[in-house]
Amino acid sequence: MEKRKITTLNRGWLFIDRDVANAFENEHDDSNWYHVDIPHDWAISRPYKKDTPCGSSQGYFDRWGTGWYRKYVEFDEIPETCIL
């Protein structure tokens, strides 16, 4: 039996702070997305707003809306007995 290999997926993500049509498609151009690592607080890049609905409990950042994350993962040869 081969040795088990554990790989973290926390680094090397792409992120966009808005809704993007067809962002789920493999061919979607993500060249203008931000490079981030997970965990990632996407609200921190938004403007500071004193009148945000949750106020100080959310750090006065607007945390509402849609954002997309993407991660490209490459695998070496995968044996038939491998479980992903």
For residues 25 and 41, what is the distance between their CA atoms, to the nearest angstrom? 24
pTM above 0.75, yes or no: no
Kindly give, in sequence order, each residue whose CB lies less than 8 Å from that of residue 21, ignoring residues fewer than 6 positions away. Answer: none
Q: Mean pLDDT for the chain?
A: 81
Region 63-67 average pLDDT: 78
Predicted pLDDT at 58: 63
Q: What angle do CA 78, 40, 10 make, to 5 degrees?
A: 20
Which tokens sit at 9? 């997926």
- Tell me what percent of the residues of the chain surpass a pLDDT of 90: 37
For residues 30 and 2, what is the distance between their CA atoms, to the nearest angstrom? 36
Which tens digits make up the pLDDT trace of 13-52? 999 988 999 999 999 999 999 999 999 877 777 777 677 7
Domains defined along the chain, listed by start: 1-84 (2.60.120.260)
